[in-house]
Each structure stands twice: as structure tokens, then as C-alpha cells.
Amino acid sequence: MATDPRITDSHCHLDFPDFDDTRAEVVARAVANGVHRMVTICTRLDRVDQVRSIAEAHDAVWWAAGTHPMSAGDVPQVSIEDLLTLAEHPKFVGIGETGLDYHYTAETKSAQQESLRTHIEAARQTKLPLIIHARDADEDMARILSEEHARGAYSCVMHCFSSSAELARAALDLGFYLSMSGIAAFKRSEELRAIFAEALVDRILVETDSPYLAPPPHRGKRNEPAYSVHTARVGAELYGLSYEDFAAQTEENFARLFWKAA
């Protein structure tokens, strides 16, 4: 039985082939280490059946779905109706991940922006949180999030946040949340930790984005939900809190945002 305070891995990818041979063990190991809840994210709607079945098979796992911005130019545009239908599932808790990624796929920025606005409208209608991926697109991201929020409020988490202080402030000013991944625990991430330190702790979540971005002492290896405790310990130190208090705060934050999983 876990002795540490309970926390939630707010973003992982348990359907990825990295976990095909060990998925049940990975979930069990997370729970044993105090990670009592995980949100596994579908990044392509042709993977919905696989992702949904993982959530249905494990009490500790919830799910969300959307079209990842790097796929937005390669697949048919998702419709609001598609997302609303998915949201009817009892363990479906968020819209996305969606967003903008101009690092690898700037040539599809128009399709990405159209897809992002569709996901925002679905989040607005369902009142489920929007899950945002942002890379090398800070100006457009801040503009679209603000424009859409002015048209009607919605909730949002900037997943695996590693962008600029300006985008962090823009998101926080809209009432959104920032999620700490293993990147925030990397030795050379002083600037990113400083950005997080400027945010109120009641707007912070933790995640792994596993199988990617394992925090120390597992950096360079396959990440998994159990390792979110290492990032949470860095977060506690950053905010000058005990691990117990930081864990309790992030649990409160998660329950407020991902209300359907609370």
C-alpha cells in the first residue's frame, strides 16, 4: 500500500507501444507509489478505441482525446460533434490534446489553428478542460486563446509547459493552469522553474507526458506515471512547501479543473 500522499499524473500516453507488454504493471506501479489517478491522452481519433479501453480496464485511469497539432494537417478535421460524442463517456474528462506546434509542422499552421478553435468550442460546450500543447507558437497561441476566451469562457491546462514567461502570464491571466512535467526537474531548467515560481501554486498540476521526458533520476529512460512523484518533489521545493502540502494542493487543483474525475 502506498505511504506517500496521493497525487495525479494529469497527462500520460498509456496507449503508446512503449507500454504494450507492461501496461498493467505500469498502472499498478503508479498506484503503489501514490499516483492514484492518471489521465491517458488520445492524440489521434483513430486511436480512440484503444485509449478508451485502457481507461475502462483500470479504475485509476481516465482519458481525454483530440487531434494533436502535429497531426492536424494529416488527418480529417475533427468536428465539434465528434468531440461532444466522445465526451459522453463517463471516464472522458478533457478535450485534447490540441494546440499549435510550429517547431516541426509550421507548414500546417492554418490547419492547426482551425483544429484548435474547434477543440476550444467543444471545451466551451462540454465545460471540460482544454488540454493544450504549445511549441514555438507563443504569439499565435496567446492570441487565439485570448480571442476565444473573449467569445465565451472555457477552462484550460497548458500541458507540459515549457514555453515563454509571456505565454505563461497570458494563460494565467485567463484563469488557466500550468502543468509541470519532467522538464521542470531537469538540472538546466532554471529559467523554466523561475516561470513556474511566478505562478500561484493553486494553478499548478503535475504530469509525466510518459513515455517521454522522464525526470531525474530516470532521465533518458522510458517515463511512466509512477515517476510523476519526482517532479512533484521538485515542485514542492520550488514553492517552499512540504511534499505532503504540495501534493494536497495539486490534488485540489486537479479536482477543480478535471471536475469529472474528482
pLDDT tens, position by position, 9-40: 999 999 999 999 999 999 999 999 999 999 99
**Is 89 annotated as belonging to a binding site?**
no
User: How many domains would you assign to the chain?
Assistant: 1
The DSSP output letter for 196 is H
* pLDDT at site 1: 40
* pLDDT at site 3: 54
Rounded Cα distance between 38 and 50, Å, is 16
Residue 14 domain flag: yes
For helices 165-173 and 138-151, what crossing angle results, to 10°? 10
Residue 1 domain flag: no
Q: What is the CATH number of the domain that holds 198?
A: 3.20.20.140
**Is 68 annotated as belonging to a binding site?**
no
* 262 contacts 255 by C-beta, under 8 angstroms: yes
pTM to 2 decimals?
Answer: 0.96
**Is 97 annotated as belonging to a binding site?**
yes
**Nearest one of 137, 132, 136, 169 to 154, comparing CA atoms:** 132
**Is 103 annotated as belonging to a binding site?**
no
Residue 171 domain flag: yes
Ordered per-residue pLDDT tens for the chain, 262 residues: 445 699 999 999 999 999 999 999 999 999 999 999 999 999 999 999 999 999 999 999 999 999 999 999 999 999 999 999 999 999 999 999 999 999 999 999 999 999 999 999 999 999 999 999 999 999 999 999 999 999 999 999 999 999 999 999 999 999 999 999 999 999 999 999 999 999 999 999 999 999 999 999 999 999 999 999 999 999 999 999 999 999 999 999 999 999 999 9
Q: In terms of DSSP bridges, do strands 156-158 and 35-42 run parallel, antiparallel, or are they unpaired?
A: unpaired
**Is 149 annotated as belonging to a binding site?**
no
* pLDDT at site 240: 98
Q: Which helix (H) or strand (E) holds 64?
A: strand 61-65
**Is 159 annotated as belonging to a binding site?**
yes
Residue 209 domain flag: yes
* Domain assignment of residue 236, given as a range: 7-261
Interior CA angle at 67 toward 61 and 70, to 5°? 115
Q: How many residues does the chain have?
A: 262
Residue 105 phi, psi (nearest 5): -130, 40
Rounded Cα distance between 260 and 114, Å, is 27
Cell of 45: 481519433
Residue 226 domain flag: yes
pLDDT in tens, 218-256: 999 999 999 999 999 999 999 999 999 999 999 999 999
